[in-house]
């Protein structure tokens, strides 16, 4: 089965930086958290604009966060506070430690 472009790029980057797969995994986790927080915000019926106002920031920052962009930890904390979520957010898909 032929590899797709993404698999080829990951393999190429991994040859240059053996830690690259871990970086990809971290980005995937960040995206999962961002999507869960965006879903929570939407379920509460709060717009990105309102969250931005509560945080004292621009709506573009909220959009970047919710799309999995690389934002500061303090931004995640302020976002959680703005939607009434405990930080770090408890995600249903998170595995519990045994």
Domains of the chain: 5-82 (1.10.260.40)
User: Taking the alpha carbons of 11, 13, 18, 21 in that order, is the dihedral positive or negative?
Assistant: negative
The confidence score (pLDDT) of residue 44 equals 94
The confidence score (pLDDT) of residue 56 equals 95
Distances, alpha carbon 67 to alpha carbons 28, 35, 36, 63, 70, in Å: 11, 7, 11, 6, 9
The confidence score (pLDDT) of residue 86 equals 81
pLDDT at 3 over 60: yes
Q: What is the mean pLDDT of residues 42-57?
A: 96
Q: What is the mean pLDDT of residues 29-57?
A: 93
């Amino acid at each position: 089965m032929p590899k797709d472009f993404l698999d080829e790029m990951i393999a190429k980057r991994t040859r240059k930086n053996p830690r690259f797969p871990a970086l990809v995994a971290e980005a995937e986790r960040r995206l999962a958290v961002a999507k869960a927080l965006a879903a929570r915000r939407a379920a509460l019926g709060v717009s990105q604009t309102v969250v931005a106002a509560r945080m004292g920031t621009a709506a573009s920052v909220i959009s970047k966060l919710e799309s999995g962009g690389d934002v500061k930890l303090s931004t995640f904390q302020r976002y959680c506070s703005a939607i009434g979520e405990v930080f770090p957010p408890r995600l249903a898909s998170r595995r519990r430690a045994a």
